[in-house]
Amino acid sequence: MSKFLTTVAAAALLALPATAFEIDSRYTDADGDLIADIPTDESQWLDPSTLIFAYTPVEDPAVYAEVWQPFLDHMSEVTGKPVQFFPVQSNAAQIEAMRAGRLHVAGFNTGSNPLAVACAGFRPFTMMARADGSFGYEMEIITYPGSGISSVEDIKGRQLAFTSETSNSGFKAPSAILASEFDMIPERDFTPAFSGAHDQSILGVVNKDYDAASIANSVRKRMIARDVISEDGYEIVYTSQTFPTTGYGTVYNLHPDLQEKVKEAFETFVWEGTSLEEEFKNSGEAQFIPITFQENWAVIRQIDEANGVSYTCN
User: What are 184-199's pLDDT values in tens digits?
Assistant: 999 999 999 999 999 9
72 or 12: which leads in pLDDT: 72
pLDDT of residue 5: 29
Q: What percent of the chain has pLDDT over 70?
A: 94
Confidence grade of residue 125 (pLDDT, cut at 50, 70, 90)? very high
**Pick from 156, 138, 179, 190: nearest CA to 5:** 138
CB 57 within 8 A of CB 197: yes
Cα 176 to Cα 307: distance, rounded to the nearest angstrom: 6
pLDDT in tens, 235-292: 999 999 899 999 999 999 999 999 999 999 999 999 999 999 999 998 889 999 999 9
The pLDDT-based confidence of 8 (bands split at 50, 70, 90) is very low
206-227: average pLDDT: 95
Band of the pLDDT at 135, cuts 50, 70, 90?
very high
- Overall average pLDDT of the 284-313 stretch: 90
Q: What local confidence, expressed as pLDDT, does residue 13 receive?
A: 40
* Window from 116-130, 274-288, 298-312 with minimum mean pLDDT: 298-312
Centre a 10 Å sphere on the Cβ of residue 159 and count the other Cβ atoms it contains.
Answer: 15
What confidence tier does 20 reach under pLDDT thresholds 50, 70, 90?
Answer: confident
CATH topology of domain 137-243: D-Maltodextrin-Binding Protein; domain 2 (3.40.190)
Q: Rounded mean pLDDT of 303-309?
A: 85
Q: What is the pLDDT of residue 23?
A: 95
SS (H, E, C) the chain: CCCCCCCHHHHHHHHCCCCCCCCCCCCCCCCCCCCCCCCCCHHHCECCCCEEEEECCCCCHHHHHHHCHHHHHHHHHHHCCCEEECCCCCHHHHHHHHHCCCCCEEEECCCCHHHHHHHHCEEEEEEEECCCCCCCEEEEEEECCCCCCCCHHHHCCCEEEECCCCCHHHHHHHHHHHHHHHCCCECCCEEEEECCCHHHHHHHHHCCCCCEEEEEHHHHHHHHHCCCCCHHHCEEEEEEEEECCCEEEEECCECHHHHHHHHHHHHHCCCCCCHHHHHHHHHCCCEEEECCHHHHCHHHHHHHHHCCCCCCCC
Long-range contacts of 15-18 (CB under 8 A, 24+ apart): 16/302, 16/305, 16/306, 17/302, 18/298, 18/301, 18/302
In the predicted structure, residue 102 carries a pLDDT above the cut 50 = yes
Q: What percent of the chain has pLDDT over 90?
A: 81
Is the CA virtual torsion 237, 114, 218, 102 positive or negative?
A: negative
CB 181 within 8 A of CB 148: no
Lowest pLDDT segment from 38-47, 133-142, 182-191, 302-311: 302-311
Mean pLDDT computed over 190-210: 97
What confidence category does residue 57 fall into, taking pLDDT thresholds of 50, 70 and 90?
confident
**Which region among 7-21, 136-150, 247-261, 264-278 has the lowest average model confidence (pLDDT)?**
7-21
**pLDDT band at 3; cut points 50, 70, 90:** very low
- Please check the confidence at residue 46 and state whether its pLDDT lies above 90: yes
Mean per-residue pLDDT of the chain: 91
Topology of the domain comprising 12-134+245-306: D-Maltodextrin-Binding Protein; domain 2 (3.40.190)
The answer, yes or no, to whether residue 158 has pLDDT greater than 70, is yes
Q: Distance between CA 75 and CA 277 in Å, rounded?
A: 16
Sequence ranges of the chain with CATH classification 3.40.190.10: 12-134+245-306, 137-243
Q: Residue 302 — very low, low, confident or very high, per pLDDT cuts 50/70/90? A: confident
The pLDDT assigned to 18 comes to: 43
Compute the residue count for the chain.
314
Residues whose CB is less than 8 angstroms from the CB of residue 19 and which lie 6 or more positions away in sequence, other chains included: 301, 302, 304, 305
Mean pLDDT, range 21-39, rounded to an integer:
95
